[in-house]
Amino acid sequence: MRAFGDTLRRRQDVVRALQWGFVALYLFLLFVPLLAPLAPAHGAFFARVAHWAEALFWGFWWPAVILSMMLFGQFWCGVFCPDGALTEFASRRGLGRKIPPWMRRAALPLALFALIVVYEHLSGARHSHGGTLLVLGTVSLGAVLTGLLYGRGKRVWCRYLCPTASIFSMLARCAVLHFKVDREAWDRAPRPLPGAVDCPLLLDVRRLRSNEKCSMCGRCSGHRDAVRLAWRAPGQELATLGDGEVREWEAVGILFVLIGLFYGAMHWQGSAWHGWLAAALGGAGGWRGGTAAALLAILLAAGTLGGTIGLLLLAAARGRYREACRLAYGLIPLGGAGLMLGAMEHSFAILRRADVLLDATHLHALRAMVLMVAAAWSVVLGMRMQRAVGRARGFYPMSVLLLLIAYLFAPVSPAILAGLQAVAAA
């Protein structure tokens, strides 16, 4: 793998060409459907572009990127991401201001992402091109504006503000690839020393130990003959977390955003809680019976699932809060798998509209296969991380089992279920 990392460094011209190719495709799919009113005679063409945009953004890109993060790290961010290319391009021509203190708040991207997730699933943004434009376009606009204001040719947006980076950083710590830094080789490098690494995320490469912020762009590969792309065991970084690498806010994010909020947002339409809340708030229409009931169903699911798992982790750690936070990191593989499967339900809906013959057994079989592998991964990681002994040890597998059951029996969206049932009836 070292040769591949060195190739990324040497052929940054190819990387830039790939990035701008993705920028062109992204902007084409995002904005061309808006031209439909200007050429009514070509309405069918614009409708197809809008359909392609939905299929690529939500049906393929989102689940595929989640899986790639967990397996290989953030190559998407460093090599392909349009927002990364746009913000770096803008930063090279922007005002170059210093990064303000408020932007450095570590939990800010996670909070922004939670808001986007709730809005996207309440509004059904992914089901309309206008909604897709609003969600993705707003994020891209934020990337460009951040580049114009802050940094000097760096990806300040990606480092401090990108909402998806908050989740990608968690998932990438499971990956089997990383840029490994040999600190001794770095320090004994012969003179004359090469220039500093042009790290777009402003990372201290010399002290790099984690995949959480590294975008895998390859620009540091081979530096001082001390940095190389290398294999490692799946989840090795999580299993060997140091005390200073366990963050309470991140553990809360794993339980209540990666697991709880995503679960509630993806499955609220099929939830019995939603039906009960809608009836209690005055019917299925209006703000109270519609949006408010859906929002409460999402938050109730997030609080119940995340809180219950948190109590089990606290019991597994024998009441030691810091150790319970450490154990939360062991649930990232299973939480990431649940996130990917929830995103893939939209892929099933797109395939159904394309008359691809699927039935409910395909969806349930896929769920079971992926979740069993992810659950075993989380159990192995958590048991390696766990410091508590005796009977308390069983509480961690119980937390994995609870989450596994929740994902296995998660309600399928009524719209998707109806489509699958129609295929089966035909």
Is pLDDT at 196 greater than 60 in this prediction? yes
Q: Of the ranges 124-128, 352-356, 367-371, 413-417, which one carries the lowest mean pLDDT score?
A: 413-417
pLDDT of residue 420 exceeding 70: no
Residues facing 227 on adjacent strands: 181
Dihedrals φ, ψ of 304, to 5°?
Answer: -70, -50
Average the pLDDT over 335-360 and give the result. Answer: 76
Is 227:196 a contact under the CB 8 Å cutoff? no
Beta-carbon contacts of residue 229 (< 8 Å; ≥ 6 apart): 1, 2, 4, 5, 8, 177, 178, 179, 180, 218, 221
Over residues 401-424, the mean pLDDT reads: 70
Residue 360 has a pLDDT of: 63
The string over 84-97, giving b where at least 16 C-beta atoms fall within 10 Å of a residue's C-beta and e elsewhere, is bbbbbbbbeebeee
pLDDT band at 388 (very low <50, low <70, confident <90, very high): very low
pLDDT of residue 415: 54
pLDDT interval class at 405 (50, 70, 90):
very high
Sequence-distant (6+) residues with CB within 8 A of 420 are: 348, 352, 358, 359, 360, 363, 412
Distance of CA 163 to the CA centre of its chain: 9
Residue 276 confidence class, pLDDT cut points 50, 70, 90: confident
Low-confidence winner among 31-35, 37-41, 238-242 (lowest mean pLDDT):
37-41
Please tell me the pTM assigned to this model.
Answer: 0.90
- Written in H, E and C, the secondary structure of the chain is CHHHHHHHHHCHHHHHHHHHHHHHHHHHHHHHHHHHHHCHHHHHHHHHHHHHHHHHHHHHHHHHHHHHHHHHCCHHHHHHCHHHHHHHHHHCCCCCECCCHHHHCCCHHHHHHHHHHHHHHHHCHHHCHHHHHHHHHHHHHHHHHHHHHECCCCCHHHHHHCHHHHHHHHHHCCCCEEEEECHHHHHCCCCCCCCCCCCCCCCCHHHCCCCCCCCCCCCCCCHHHCEEEEECCCCHHHHCCCHHHCCHHHHHHHHHHHHHHHHHHHHHHHCHHHHHHHHHCCCCCHHHHHHHHHHHHHHHHHHHHHHHHHHHHHHHCCCCHHHHHHHHHCCHHHHHHHHHHHHHHHHHHHHHHCCCCCCHHHHHHHHHHHHHHHHHHHHHHHHHHCCCCHHHHHHHHHHHHHHHHHHHCCCCCHHHHHHHHHHHHC
What number is the average pLDDT over the span 37-56?
A: 79
* Domain ranges for the chain: 2-172, 249-425
> How far is Cα 336 from Cα 216, in angstroms, rounded to an integer?
20
Least confident of 160-174, 323-337, 383-397: 383-397
- pLDDT level of residue 414 (50, 70, 90 thresholds): low
Mean pLDDT on 375-388: 85
Q: What average pLDDT does the segment 47-67 reach?
A: 86
Please report which confidence band the pLDDT of residue 289 belongs to, taking 50, 70 and 90 as the band edges. Answer: low
Taking alpha carbons only, the member of 206, 216, 222 closest to residue 176 is 216
The pLDDT of residue 378: 95
**Do 157 and 100 touch, CB atoms closer than 8 A?**
no
Q: How confident is the model at residue 129 (pLDDT cuts 50, 70, 90)?
A: confident
Residue 362 has pLDDT above 80, yes or no: no
Q: Considering only CA atoms, which of 288, 293, 290 is closest in space to residue 264? A: 293
Closest by CA position to 59, among listed 318, 349, 310? 349
Share of the chain above pLDDT 90, in %: 57
Q: 35: pLDDT confidence band, cut at 50, 70 and 90?
A: confident
pLDDT one-digit tens code per residue, 65-78? 999 999 999 999 99
pLDDT at 426 over 50: no
pLDDT at residue 355 in the model: 60
The mean predicted confidence, pLDDT, of the chain is: 87
Q: Report pLDDT for 283.
A: 57
Q: What is the mean pLDDT of residues 371-393?
A: 80
In this predicted structure, what is the pLDDT of residue 266? 86
Q: What is the pLDDT of residue 110?
A: 94
Percent of the chain with pLDDT strictly greater than 70? 90
**pLDDT score of 390:** 45
Residue 54 has pLDDT above 50, yes or no: yes
Summarised one tens digit per residue, pLDDT across range 201-211 is: 999 999 998 98
Burial 355-386 (b: 16+ CB within 10 A, else e): eeebeeeebeeebeebbeebbebbbebbbebb
